[in-house]
Structure 1
Amino acid sequence: MGRSAVFIDGAYIEFLIREEFAEMRVDFARLSQRLAGSKELLRTYYY
């Protein structure tokens, strides 16, 4: 089993939400787990 780190570009995510989805909220912990899949999630970086 591998390990992974997730890097989230906060400015881009906020832009997409504002332009495409209006009032949507994102659960970044859940998103990180989904992106990691079966790999061990080491850390999520939000920049």
Structure 2
Amino acid sequence: TTGNEIMALFARLHKQGNTIVLVTHEHDIAMHAHRVIHIRDGKVERDERVR
């Protein structure tokens, strides 16, 4: 799917040393990240390392 292709592109860019900032409401997409920051009402609720 297009979503998987985009995530693969982000992975390649990150491997090259680029920082990727991704904003999503989709849990399965967020799990591709190395770090997930949960924000509620404009404040950081949780900051976690995923991998």
Q: Structure 1 length as normaliser, TM-score?
A: 0.23
Report 1 or 2 for greater relative contact order, CA contacts < 8 Å, sequence distance ≥ 6: 1
- With the length of structure 2 as denominator, give the TM-score of the two structures: 0.22
Q: Give the helix-richer structure, 1 or 2.
A: 1
